[in-house]
Chains A and B, each alone.
Chain A
């Protein structure tokens, strides 16, 4: 048994399996999308992207994702601070609840928001009576994105807050700074890398979100159709070139964000 296990072939087998795994699972598929969108020349790529419906879908996605990321940066800063700094009943319960949106399937998240705000619910009825439109329009889509990306900023801010030396704040207070001033001049600057990298991750995730958004959006082309749903529609109608072109745009944007986040994090560590 042992001689069989010690055979040199195992080593080579494992090493080639690993490289093949990377190649087949991640590298080839990614290159495939880039290749497919440019294979018929630049013209088709540019045409696919400048198609008014595609372009509107991308710009709507960017706007909504940006709004969701900003909402999350504000909420996340507040919640992260409260969960680390305040002692109150239910704190550890809330702290565990933060991860709920990551644990729940996105389709379930979308369904929950649809049920809560939909035309049959009292929120939906009240909004309808006041002339607001929530579900199938931007507000619900932003709520879905905020829900899905909720943990990012909180989880990025918490470790930074725990690291702050309390003596810095005490020093500021002794020197006569008010609570608000201490927060903005001492606490916030140390939280900032977390807020930014968490916000960017949330933005990138919101750009990519499909499950939650497709259920609560009206998916009307040019109005409430986001990029990922547009890509799905193009795949369903067999226009893979158009789908690939928009995918390339989104992918490049996400990769740049991922790269910037890594850069911010390594810079934060080295300082």
Chain B
């Protein structure tokens, strides 16, 4: 009886995950290495990958710092009442429930050319929407819960005893953070960083709306794939998709490895 279920499980994995992934890899190499290289070294493809890299680096830095801070304050911030912290805590999850397209729309509505803030920034010569800052904000919105949700449970688990001991012994809050808190949340932060990179790398909907998908200006790797498919240029799309998939799978393996080393899950 169990044999049947195991076979079915294998069948689902093969049909849904393995065959599509294999098919894409084969299709990307079907024109030979030369064609794959040509598709990837198009100026717009190179520019798109550079944009993606820039967005990923900026967002990962910002999200790591601000996410860690948010987690620390939501767990330890006694200056906020319990009610406020609970409210903020439930707000953290909201980006999960928001469609990326709507996330992008929100930023266009708030900072786009039609809004007061957008007109103001336009006048001082700073473009947000259809430019790099907007793409960073959109990706930041989408990745916002990842770091907070990784770090918060660890902070809750370790409690405050050690930190209190450190400050009783006269350590400044910075020293306490670096010497006591940081070593225990380090792995959670690393997971958070990997998740953020993976999500930022693959973000599509929000970035598409906010960036306007302008070739050689605001186009990222995912929006390049979209445009190639829309132009029936599937072979070129395959090349970019293969690179992205390789990166994401690499990140996933790293995460698995880290988890195994830590002995969680």
Name A's B-contacting residues (CB within 8 A): 2, 5-6, 14-15, 17-18, 21-22, 25-30, 32-33, 36, 75, 78-79, 81-83, 85-86, 88, 90, 94, 96-97, 99-109, 111-116, 118, 121, 143, 146-147, 150, 179, 204, 207-211, 214-215, 228-229, 231-232, 235, 240, 243-244, 247, 250-251, 254-255, 257-258, 262
Chain B neighbourhood of A209, CB < 8 A: 99
Determine how close the nearest CB of chain A comes to the CB of B138; give it in whole angstroms. Answer: 10
Q: Is B165 an interface residue (CB 8 A)?
A: no
A79 touches B9 (CB 8 A): yes
How far is B137's CA from A250's CA once the two chains are assembled, in angstroms? 22
Residues from chain A with a CB closer than 8 A to the CB of B141 are 25-26, 29
Asked if B190 is at the interface (CB within 8 A of a chain A CB), the reply is no
CA–CA, A21 to B202, complex, Å? Answer: 23
Q: How far is the CA of A99 from the CA of B114 in the complex (A)?
A: 40
Excluding A25-B137, A96-B256, 14 further A-B contacts by CB distance (< 8 Å) are A5-B172, A78-B9, A100-B252, A102-B198, A105-B201, A107-B225, A108-B222, A111-B241, A112-B21, A204-B97, A211-B222, A232-B101, A251-B97, A254-B97
* B5, A86: Cβ atoms closer than 8 Å: yes
A112:B97 contact, CB within 8 angstroms: no
Could you tell me if A240 and B97 are in contact, using CB atoms closer than 8 angstroms?
Answer: no
CB distance from A113 to the nearest CB of B (A): 6
CB distance from B10 to the nearest CB of A (A): 8
Q: State the interface size on chain B (CB cutoff 8 A).
A: 77
Secondary structure dominating the interface of A = helix
Tell which of B5, B16, B100 has the most Cβ of chain A within 10 Å.
B16
B94 lies within 8 A of A255 (CB): yes
User: Is there contact, CB below 8 Å, between B107 and A29?
Assistant: yes
Docked Cα-Cα span, A36 to B112, in Å, equals: 13
CB pair B102 A111 closer than 8 Å: no
From residue A123, how far is it (CB to closest CB) to chain B in Å? 10
